[in-house]
Amino acid sequence: MVAAPKPEILAAFQAAKGFMPLDEGLALYEAALETGALGLPLLEVGTYCGRSTILLADAAREAGVSALTVDHHRGSEEQQPGWEYHDPETVDPELGVMDTLPTFRRTLYRAGLEEHVVALVGRSPQLAKIWNSPLGLVFIDGGHTDEHATADYEGWAPHLAENGLLLIHDVFPNPEDEFTGQAPYRVYLRALASGAFTEISATDSLRVLRRTSAGI
């Protein structure tokens, strides 16, 4: 049987603000649970309000590892005021700029998963540069520009242990399917072309690749 999170975790996931649909969330959970057996931390780029983090954290709890989640919490381009994915509730009323960190903290607390998560607050390339420890899973769900998606791949994929999993969200082979563009799709093609990864599953826009050799 396919592993699924407990009903209370699923309810917390469904109630959380964010952009991860259920079927892709379940695929993320299954991949996280499987790779958790490596005994290494699971890392997400793109926390937002913690919706996908709930599933990563619950799988990390099951596996006895930590979930790490990276975000500067100021939102991606398409989440800024006036853009398609903007949510006015994510704006800090005092500063008038986006701040998803408070909502993320509430989400995680309510789900009872705080102790399984380490939040890394900052710019992904800046954090990746000082990172020096192997990871069991890298889930790329951050900025959708080529600059950001490429930097996420170049910064974090080299830290994946052999047999670790690389997950990429918002992979749209058809340019008409998503107005934020095809940068994640290009990163996915690049990972495959490197010869270091083997695709193991695709669920809507989520791709799961296994690191099968050292050279990236």
- The stretch near ligand SAH (CB under 6 A) out of 141-149, 179-187, 198-206, 208-216 is 141-149
Catalytic residue among 72, 144, 148, 169: 144
By CB under 6 A, tell whether 18 contacts ligand SAH. Answer: yes
**Using rule CB under 6 A, residue 100 touches ligand SAH:** yes
Taking CB under 6 A as the criterion, which residues in 45-84 touch ligand SAH?
46, 48, 51-52, 70-76
Q: Which of 40/165 has CB closer to Mg ion?
A: 165
Residue 152 binds Mg ion (CB under 5 A) = no
Residue for token digits 């390339």?
Answer: 125
Our answer to whether residue 144 is catalytic in this structure is yes
Question: 142-153 in b/e burial notation, b at 16+ Cβ within 10 A?
Answer: bbbeeebbbbbb
Non-local CB neighbours of 44 within 8 Å, separated by 6+ positions: 52, 53, 56, 67, 68, 69, 70, 139, 141
Task: Report the nearest approach of ligand SAH to the CB of residue 131 (Å).
Answer: 13
| Cα angle for residues 139, 141, 145 (degrees, 5° grid) | 130
Cβ 86 to ligand SAH shortest distance, Å: 12
Contact with ligand SAH (CB under 6 A): which of 19, 80, 131, 161? 19
Give residue for tokens 């690749």: 209
Q: Are strands 67-71 and 42-45 parallel, antiparallel or unpaired?
A: parallel
What is the H or E stretch that residue 43 is in? strand 42-45
Cα distances (angstroms) measured from residue 127 to each of 114, 122, 130: 21, 7, 6
Catalytic residues: 144
Name the site residues for ligand SAH (rule: CB under 6 A). Answer: 18-20, 46, 48, 51-52, 70-76, 100, 123-124, 141-143, 148
Name the site residues for Mg ion (rule: CB under 5 A). Answer: 19, 141, 169-170
